[in-house]
Structure 1
């Protein structure tokens, strides 16, 4: 019998990313994106092998888009689905791993919605729609926050009154857990270690960015906190700022909380620093042309990343390696080199030739001799979601 099939779904408020994965395969059978849902421009894009296609779905909602997926999945599935795996951004303290979705789990996801108001409600819309369309298949929830539930209290607690933690759940949760876990496991295999073993610093760098300290498949600390705004400089998010900035902007400019939230989440980061773009590719080109704002944005991004990574070593007993992943981490030799240049105190050193010559999309090592390992590993969150979904089905009592 063929290896099992899992349909992975990642729902946003107006989009659905999907991938059909076969157990053990490194590439999806089919993957794609339904976007601009509930608008006249709604459409479905998909790729199978080298073939790319698009279908217009004017006015389609999540359930209509998922129904449109049925024949596509049927064309590429040689057996029934074993599971539908859903990415869920925030699981609060309810979930420390993957969960089979039932009404109780749906209620817990909804209860965590105030901690991720832009994400969890959209995830729920997609889950409920998918459960109607794929009603004969087990559905699983894989939480961005679950991997970080292994953090100790001294890492996840804020220095705030106890009642805010106990009654409101105000603590550090962390995100991008699926990616951090996947690349650390791949790093252990790449260096000939048992899967999941090792002491790693990981840097997931895209439009959203986070760093993590991982020991033997357990997150010990991470840069994001209660929300995905804390931590590193990102595409449009500020990352760490003085907490009293809210009060300062209110007193000085009369801004209210929604205005300040919009500033910190959508107008800051690389975009705010550069005054040009939130896209690192654009900024690197502008930097080459002498654009001062782009240069400043790159320098701040790399320094703040390095400072975070250096701080995270406090959580580790040793350092086996540093891992770069995500769109920027995988594709920008400049960012990797500038970041590591700030980490000489850790003995880390990039081999310039290896860094420049590593093919895009390929895993490899880029350290100089004598340095701890520095790895570039393409992330594959959909594969990790599929693997965790099947592992859940195989667990005793599932």
Structure 2
């Protein structure tokens, strides 16, 4: 039922809804999904929290609306969000809250309901994700204060990768660093990889008990994963999101001796090295122009050789690591591209598949060009190993896990 008011079009709904929160140190990304739907009633972002230009943007079927938070922090963002939902008649329908958590270490191997012990566990993992987990905890506490009577769940990006065999997750360093400090490969983007793996099996009609899938989640942060019979068996990101592929501003794999060499030459301390590899490298560092793939493709088309090199390196590293991941599979049924770059850069998909011909991939150029802006679908030629584009939906995975844990 739709009720007209002097302020808004208020949408009343009797279905139970899940509020999904993805909280960073200075931002809150959110989505409100009906329990049985993948399409959100509401989505948006609060950003620049704690600064003078703090603001929150709401996106609904009516369009976008931005409000100033005037230096507000996470608590003010949650208050603005609850007011907006109340004005639209959605607040009373919220039945549970789900949170995305980047790092769960080895303790959390599945999604769980929040209690004090879980919060302590997330705090204990904060040293493994110092830029993410503290922000997640702020979001959890703000949401618990805003919705004290509702069940709340946490969904860990590292959980899907907990099926890695020991040979895949250990580093070739003295084992005491693993036993004393938890130094090992954990992997990231697990919620996205889990969604894509399940959807690929259903979409392509693969045997749930016997399949092999490579997944390339490509965005400003990028990772690739090998999935065998529904289980993650290898992945490119490591203890942190720095390892693996070339990314927007992250270097990905680099010889550690090169890092110490640069540090001595430049007089860099550990913080300087961290900034160099995480914030000044990747596509931005190579091109000297931008971390945005779209800007680099435009520049390369105009003859910018550094932009072209950045794109070539991105595709080369991706193909090389996908080839390595394939060695962890018993069979190879499909390669799936997802994420902002994976779903929209037909050029980088073409470059990558051209380097993977030895595995039996053959691209359909017309289908590849069509598979942008949410279109998706197969981009390989009939008779070749299947390659496809698929939009990920991490928010729905979080909402689904939350609903199941809350018994909705």
TM-score, with length taken from structure 1 = 0.96
Superposed displacement of residue 26, structure 1: 2.4
Asked if structure 1 preserves the Cα contact closer than 8 Å seen for 2:15 and 2:93, the reply is: no
Kindly indicate whether residue 361 of structure 2 is the aligned counterpart of residue 348 of structure 1: yes
Structure 2 residue aligned with 1:279, among 288, 292, 299? 292
In structure 1, what is the equivalent of residue 127 of structure 2? 114
In the alignment, the residues of structure 1 paired with residue 155 and residue 67 of structure 2 have an alpha-carbon distance, to the nearest angstrom, of 29
Asked if structure 1 preserves the Cα contact closer than 8 Å seen for 2:211 and 2:331, the reply is: no
Post-superposition CA distance 1:149-174 (Å, at most 9, x none): 01110100001111110110000000
Post-superposition CA distance 1:187-227 (Å, at most 9, x none): 11211246797311000000000000012321111000010
Kindly indicate whether residue 233 of structure 2 is the aligned counterpart of residue 220 of structure 1: yes
In the alignment, the residues of structure 1 paired with residue 106 and residue 100 of structure 2 have an alpha-carbon distance, to the nearest angstrom, of 16
Asked if structure 2 preserves the Cα contact closer than 8 Å seen for 1:188 and 1:196, the reply is: no
Post-superposition CA distance 1:311-339 (Å, at most 9, x none): 00111110110000000000010000000
Asked if structure 1 preserves the Cα contact closer than 8 Å seen for 2:14 and 2:93, the reply is: no
In structure 1, what is the equivalent of residue 10 of structure 2? none
Kindly indicate whether residue 19 of structure 2 is the aligned counterpart of residue 7 of structure 1: yes
Q: How many residues get paired? A: 395
Partner SS, residue 369 of structure 1: coil
Asked if structure 2 preserves the Cα contact closer than 8 Å seen for 1:203 and 1:325, the reply is: yes
Structure 2 residue aligned with 1:258, among 258, 263, 271? 271
Kindly indicate whether residue 157 of structure 2 is the aligned counterpart of residue 155 of structure 1: no
Kindly indicate whether residue 72 of structure 2 is the aligned counterpart of residue 66 of structure 1: no
Change (3 A) 1:229 1:76: farther
Further displaced range: 54-63 or 296-305 = 54-63
Post-superposition CA distance 1:9-36 (Å, at most 9, x none): 0001111000001123121000001111
RMSD, aligned CA:
1.6
In structure 2, what is the equivalent of residue 232 of structure 1? 245
TM-score, with length taken from structure 2 = 0.94
In the alignment, the residues of structure 1 paired with residue 152 and residue 207 of structure 2 have an alpha-carbon distance, to the nearest angstrom, of 30
Partner SS, residue 190 of structure 1: helix
Kindly indicate whether residue 40 of structure 2 is the aligned counterpart of residue 40 of structure 1: no
Structure 1 residue aligned with 2:202, among 169, 183, 189? 189
Partner SS, residue 36 of structure 2: coil
Asked if structure 2 preserves the Cα contact closer than 8 Å seen for 1:112 and 1:120, the reply is: yes
In the alignment, the residues of structure 1 paired with residue 385 and residue 247 of structure 2 have an alpha-carbon distance, to the nearest angstrom, of 26
In structure 2, what is the equivalent of residue 299 of structure 1? 312
> Structure 2 regions of 5+ residues with no counterpart?
1-12
Further displaced range: 356-365 or 270-279 = 356-365
Kindly indicate whether residue 261 of structure 2 is the aligned counterpart of residue 243 of structure 1: no
